[in-house]
Amino acid sequence: MNYLGCEFKDETITLTRPNEGVNIRDCVFDNCHFDIKKPSFLYLANNKYHNCTFNLDLTDCEGDIIIINDEVRSII
């Protein structure tokens, strides 16, 4: 899953294939829900979140979990 420089509103961001990597950078998320289960790696950098919810299962993550300079506001 790769999202680079995108804007999302009222969407669900779903990892559909466990063991796939997640690379999300320079994005804006407004009123979105994240449903990410068992990624092989998770890389988040310079994202902005407003009124977002998260369902993350990182138990089987075999690679790096990297979160850099992300701005989180009003997470429910």
Q: What is the pLDDT of residues 1-21, one digit of tens each?
A: 899 999 999 999 998 887 889
Predicted model pTM: 0.83
Q: What is the pLDDT of residues 30-56, one digit of tens each?
A: 999 999 998 998 888 899 999 999 898
State the number of CA atoms in the 13 A half-sphere of 53 facing the CB: 7
Q: What's the token pair of residue 33?
A: 């829900």
Q: Where are the domains of the chain?
A: 2-68
Q: What's the token pair of residue 4?
A: 């680079």
